[in-house]
Amino acid sequence: MIEAVGLTKRYGDRTAVDDLTFTVRPGAVTGFLGPNGSGKSTTMRMILGLDNPTAGTVTIGGLPYRKLPNPARQVGALLDARAVHGGRTARDHLLSLAQLSGIPARRVDEVLDVVGLRDVAGRRTKGFSLGMGQRLGIAAALLGDPQVLLFDEPVNGLDPEGIYWVRNLMKELAAEGRTVFVSSHLMSEMAQTADHLIVIGRGRLLADMSVRDFIAANSAGFARVRTPGSEPEQRERLTTVLTEAGGQVLPEPDGALRVTGLPLPRISDLAHDAGVRLWELSPHQASLEEAYIRLTQHAVDHRSTADPKAGLTEPLPPGAEPPLPVPGQGQPGWFVPPPPQDPATAAGAVPGPQDGTAPSPAPTTSEDPR
Ligand SMILES: Nc1ncnc2c1ncn2[C@@H]1O[C@H](COP(=O)(O)OP(=O)(O)OP(=O)(O)O)[C@@H](O)[C@H]1O
C-alpha cells in the first residue's frame, strides 16, 4: 500500500505537487492520470525516494522508501525506459541490477521470459526499439518480485500488441494481490486497465474514485434529433416543444439538435403531437475521455492555440449548460459533457482549483485487503 499525506513539491516558485493525499491499495490497478506537467512523475519520484517532498509524507507499507529494509524486493518501478547503459546486453543489464540487490541470477531469465525478451537477451540494448526498451524496463521492475509496482507511462511507444500485453500484465500483477500504480495522460488507456483512478491537475487532486464511479458520475447520455433540413420551421417548432417539456436543446453545427433531459420515446411523442417529422432520433453517450477532458480542462498547462477544443475553456453565459459531445465527431467547442447533476453520484470527485474551493481527499469505502 502506498500512502501520501499532504505531499507537496516546489521547485523555486513553481509548485509541481500540491498537498496531495491519497492511498494506493493492493489487489487493484490504480491509474494515475493528469495532463502533461501535472506532477505525476514528480509524485512517483517522491514515492521512490528520488526527490524529497517540500512538505508532507509518502510511505510504502508504512515506511518511507529510503527506510525500507530491502527496497528492490519490495518495490519495483519503471520510470524512464531509456535509463539503460546501451553498451550492455539486456541480460547483463538485469544481472547487474540483480547483483546490486542480492537477487539470484536465475530470476533474470524468469523476468526475460515474462516480458518476452529471452530471444534478444544477448543483444546490446542500444539497438533496442522503444517497445523493447519498455519491456526491459518492466523486466527490471519485476526483478525483485515486489509487492508494490510503479509504472510511469508504461505504454509509451508501444504498438497495439505491446499495449495489450502491458494492460494484461498490470491486471495479472494486481490479481496476484500486488499494489500496481500506473501513470498515464490517456484516459482511454486507463479506462481499460485500471480499477481505480487518481486524477491530478497542476499538482492538485481532482478525483479519487473507482473507474466504475467515474463512469457513472461522468458519462452523460443525450439524444440526437434531426428534422428535414429544408424545413427550418420544423426544427424551431421542435425546439420549442422540447424545451417547454423540460428538455435542454442545443443546435449542432450540422443542423441536428442535441437533447438532454427527455427520454427518446417522449421526444418522439412530442414531435408527433407537434406535427414535426423526424429524420433521426438516436441515443448517444459522452465518452469517458471527454469527461476526463472536462475534469482537467482548467488544469492544462500547454494547449495548442490551433486546438479546436480550446473553445471549451471559454466561460459559459450565466445559467447556460455546457453542450454535450457527439462521440467521434469533431465539433469545435463541443467536447465537454455537463458535470453530474446529483452530487451523491459524484462521490470521490474533489473540487478542483478551477472552482476556487480547497481540494480534500475523497472518502474511501473499501478496506485494505491485506
Ligand atoms: N527538476 C525539476 N526542476 C524544476 N521543475 C520541475 C522539475 N521536475 C519537474 N518540474 C516541473 O514540475 C511540473 C510537473 O512535472 P512532472 O514531470 O511531474 O509532470 P508529469 O505529470 O509527469 O508530466 P508528463 O505527463 O508530461 O510526464 C512541471 O511543470 C515540470 O516542469
Q: Where are the domains of the chain?
A: 2-217, 222-285
- Decide: helix, strand or coil at residue 35: coil
- Sheet containing strand 14-24, edge to edge, reads 14-24, 2-11, 55-60
Average pLDDT (325-354) is 38
Alpha-carbon span 1 to 33, nearest angstrom: 18
Report whether 192 contacts 326 (CB < 8 A): no
The protein residue with its alpha carbon nearest to ligand 1, atom 24, reads: 36
Top pLDDT among 298 and 275 is at 275
Q: What's the complex ipTM?
A: 0.95
Residue-wise pLDDT tens digits, 71-101: 888 999 998 767 777 678 999 999 999 998 8
Cα 4 to Cα 44, 56, 148, 219, 248, distances in angstroms: 11, 8, 14, 29, 42
- Set of cell numbers at residue 262: 427527455
Residue type, 369: P
Report whether 349 contacts 362 (CB < 8 A): yes
Phi-psi region of 337 (alpha: psi -120 to 50; beta: other; left: phi over 0): beta
| pLDDT score, position 245 | 96
Alpha-carbon span 278 to 271, nearest angstrom: 7
Average pLDDT (35-63) is 94
Selected from 3.40.50.300, 3.40.50.150, 3.90.25.10, 2.60.120.10, the CATH number assigned to the domain covering 2-217 reads 3.40.50.300
Give yes or no on whether 2-217 and 222-285 have one common fold: no
- How close is the Cα of 37 to the center of ligand 1, in Å? 5
- Give the position, in ligand 1's atom list, of the atom nearest the Cα of 12: 4
Residue among 13, 41, 82, 204 to mutate when testing ligand 1 (max atoms within 8 A of CB): 41
Question: Domain 222-285, what fold?
Answer: Alpha-Beta Plaits (3.30.70)
| pLDDT score, position 299 | 62
**Ligand 1 pocket residue status of 45, Cβ below 6 Å:** no
Say what the pTM is: 0.71
Alpha-carbon span 355 to 342, nearest angstrom: 17
Average pLDDT (293-316) is 51
Cα angle at 365 between 360 and 366, to 5 degrees?
A: 125
| pLDDT score, position 168 | 93
Residue among 8, 10, 14, 301 to mutate when testing ligand 1 (max atoms within 8 A of CB): 14
**Ligand 1 pocket residue status of 178, Cβ below 6 Å:** no
Report whether 290 contacts 335 (CB < 8 A): yes
